[in-house]
Structure 1
Amino acid sequence: MKKTTIVSICAGAAMSVCLALPALAQDAKANDTHLQAAIDVVEQTGNMPEFEKQLELIVKNSKVWLVRQNPNAEKDIYEVVDKIAENYKDDRKNLVASAAVAWARYLKEDELKDVLAFFKTESGQKFATYQPRILGEMLGNIQAYSKETTQRIVAQSIKELNAKGHKFQ
């Protein structure tokens, strides 16, 4: 693939992302104070990935994608991507704003302010701290329940199907 094609694809992808964020924000908010309320909630919950780690992942994915397109340019790709990534090292606010769009899409501004007030309480801070663990445990418990229940249903079904003359072990 020609370098100009790769550059065009990357530029197009970057431009799409840049153009999409404001559109998403417009869909999700009635005004800037609505989105700001959502940003405040995102900041207060502390559930955002660490920006530096997220940027490292983005840079890594960019390199992998480009190297797949042109393995012979790997050295230059790494150098160029690292150089360009420097332009984004202070872009945390845009990551937070993109996450806040989801909050703003589902909650009105006054509701976001109520949520923010909750997260500022001792209980809210505790909830924010433990929420990822709680969700992880919930998911694990649901999977365990599903597995156990599936095994019981299958075992009971096999028993009845064998009684009807079907062969199951």
Structure 2
Amino acid sequence: MRRTIASRLGFGALFLTLALGPAAAQQPPVAPAMSPPPSASEMQVARELVQVNGEANSFVGVMQNLVDGAALAFVQTNPDLAPQLRDVAVALRPEFEKRQSEIVDMLALAYANHFTEDELKQALAFFKSPVGQKLVSDRPAIVQQAVQSIQQWGVKINAEAMERVRAEMKKRGYDL
């Protein structure tokens, strides 16, 4: 197989890199397995896939956040210019919003580098199916429910761990 499962890119890592900003972006990229560049046809199917599966929509607002973040970086050294910097950021947003398609292209390239054209077409067919469309439409609620459950679980585990640490420290003569 031209592209292996082991080399598939996790988009969570990509999103985390964008969220963490320049420090995370300085990490060296993971090199994809050496394979021929994707064909125009593969890229076309991959672009459609990232639109239909909802991933392209996951990055709506990224450009605004990047432009606003750039302006805010200057507020730290020039706090009196905050209103003017905000106005400049708002004025520049449309210019950068035009580059949103670059994100779609990067997502599509990652898919095209890790899936064959036939696999991309199969994934696209799934996401166009009623179940695939339901997955896309229900994903935000599913993720929200999972995150809330994980947060509650984390609080419980933290409390248990604190009790265990307290008990172990007490055995060693320390009363926490």
Q: Do both share a fold (TM > 0.5)?
A: yes
Deviation, 1:129, is 0.9
**Within 2, Cα distance between the matches of 1:157 and 1:68?**
40
Question: Which residue is equivalent to 2:27?
Answer: none
Note if contact 1:66-1:77 (Cα within 8 Å) is conserved in structure 2. Answer: no
Which amino acid letter does the alignment assign opposite residue 100 of structure 1?
A
TM-score (norm 1): 0.60
**Structure 2: which 5+ runs fail to align?**
1-31
TM-score (norm 2): 0.58
Note if contact 1:39-1:97 (Cα within 8 Å) is conserved in structure 2. Answer: yes
**Structure 1: which 5+ runs fail to align?**
1-23
Deviation, 1:127, is 0.4
Question: Which residue is equivalent to 2:22?
Answer: none
Note if contact 2:72-2:85 (Cα within 8 Å) is conserved in structure 1. Answer: no
Deviation, 1:57, is 2.8
**Within 1, Cα distance between the matches of 2:88 and 2:67?**
11
SS at match of 1:145: helix
SS at match of 1:63: helix
| Residue in structure 2 matching 1:102, options 98, 101, 110 | 110
- How large is the RMSD of aligned CA atoms in angstroms? 3.8
Question: Which residue is equivalent to 1:15?
Answer: none
Matched, 1:111 2:86: no
Question: Which residue is equivalent to 1:147?
Answer: 155
**Within 2, Cα distance between the matches of 1:157 and 1:78?**
51
* CA distance 1:63–1:27, shift in 2 (3 Å): farther
For residues 100-130 of structure 1, give each alpha carbon's deviation from its aligned partner in whole angstroms, at most 9, with x where no partner exists. 2333344333222221111111111010111
Over alpha carbons, which structure has the higher Rg? 1
Deviation, 1:155, is 2.0
4+ residue segments displaced more than 6 Å? 69-74
Stretch moving more, 102-111 or 129-138: 102-111
**Within 2, Cα distance between the matches of 1:167 and 1:56?**
52
Deviation, 1:76, is 8.8
For residues 31-55 of structure 1, give each alpha carbon's deviation from its aligned partner in whole angstroms, at most 9, with x where no partner exists. 222222221111102341474x444
More helix by share: 1
